[in-house]
Structure 1
Amino acid sequence: MDASEWNIGPVVDAAELVAASGLFDSPVTERGARAFLGMPGHHLLLARSGDGAAVGFVSGVVMRHPDKDAEMFVYELGVDEHFRQRGIAAALLRALAALGLELGCTGMWTGTERANAAALATYRSLGAVVDAESVFIEWDSLDTSFAPFKTPNSP
């Protein structure tokens, strides 16, 4: 399958995301798909084969800070293993960057694991600079015992 046999476009229907669940880390629910698609600044592009089947996706979030221009955060990128090494991931990132430009973004960024050689190679092939000094911090769950959410009068 070459680039003439697939196309990239936005998702507007939650059912299409549910049907593409195999591309994601976990099954997509109708509720989750609707919530994502309804959030301002959240975007999801699908790569579809000639028959309309989803073969890859990229999701992005427009982020803005008061002292910076808007940037596109690449939330996730995935391509079905049977369709890798065909330029789909790069095409998805180019499409997301084009959307970011349309929306006024001046940059794009993401994070990945140091061992994710395929992702790093794809990002580098598109001119990205890999910042080996950055560290990502994660909280797997937030609940009321998380200190920043306690108010001064809470027990």
Structure 2
Amino acid sequence: MEIRRATTVAELVAAEHLYDGPAREEWAARFLAAPGHLMLVAYTEDGFPAGFVSGIEMTHPDKGTEMCLYELSVDEAHRRRGTGRALTEALLAAARERGCRGAWVGVDTDNAPALATYRATGAADEGVFAMLGWTLPDGEAAPPA
């Protein structure tokens, strides 16, 4: 297994079987162009994208820069082989290289595989929280700021 940073739209689109829905080239291009966005892809020996982790740097005046582990996904046929752990560790290493002061991830409290993966890489529980969201009309058509 080799983990590499995705740097092209083609790489992001090729990994779409790992996403919640189909990849859109314009969103992939916007992701790559955004400062602080990072996607690492784990490839099998034959070049199959077996998993990915995405992270976004976030900076706040009193916290400095932290890495948010935005999403982690491993192809079902490649699970329970350490791929998720290796991807998480690679993102943490990239965060350290970028000077991040910490990293964090939101995870459902009933997602035992994710909790086990993150705890295996040294994550500690920081309490329970609720995640709330908004769907914004026409948000996908908005031009980059």
TM-score between the two structures when normalised by the length of structure 1: 0.85
Return the alpha-carbon distance in structure 2 between the equivalents of residues 9 and 104 of structure 1. Answer: 19
Q: Which amino acid aligns with 2:128?
A: E
Deviation at 1:130, TM superposition (A): 2.0
User: How many residues in Structure 1 have an aligned counterpart in Structure 2?
Assistant: 138
Corresponding position of 1:142: 136
Corresponding position of 1:86: 81
1:21-41: CA deviation from partner (whole Å, max 9, x where unpaired): 100001111111111111110
Deviation at 1:143, TM superposition (A): 4.2
Superposition map of 1:3-82 within 5 A:
6-82=1-77
2:128 to 130, 133, 144: 133
Return the alpha-carbon distance in structure 1 between the equivalents of residues 137 and 8 of structure 2. Answer: 31
Return the alpha-carbon distance in structure 2 between the equivalents of residues 130 and 137 of structure 1. Answer: 19
Q: Which amino acid aligns with 1:19?
A: A
- Show structure 1 runs of 4+ deviating over 3 A: none
Q: Which amino acid aligns with 2:114?
A: A
TM-score between the two structures when normalised by the length of structure 2: 0.91
**What secondary structure, in the 3-state scheme, does the structure 2 residue paired with 1:62 have?**
strand
Q: Structure 1: any 5+ residue segments left out of the alignment?
A: 1-5, 145-155
- Give the greater-gyration-radius structure (CA): 1
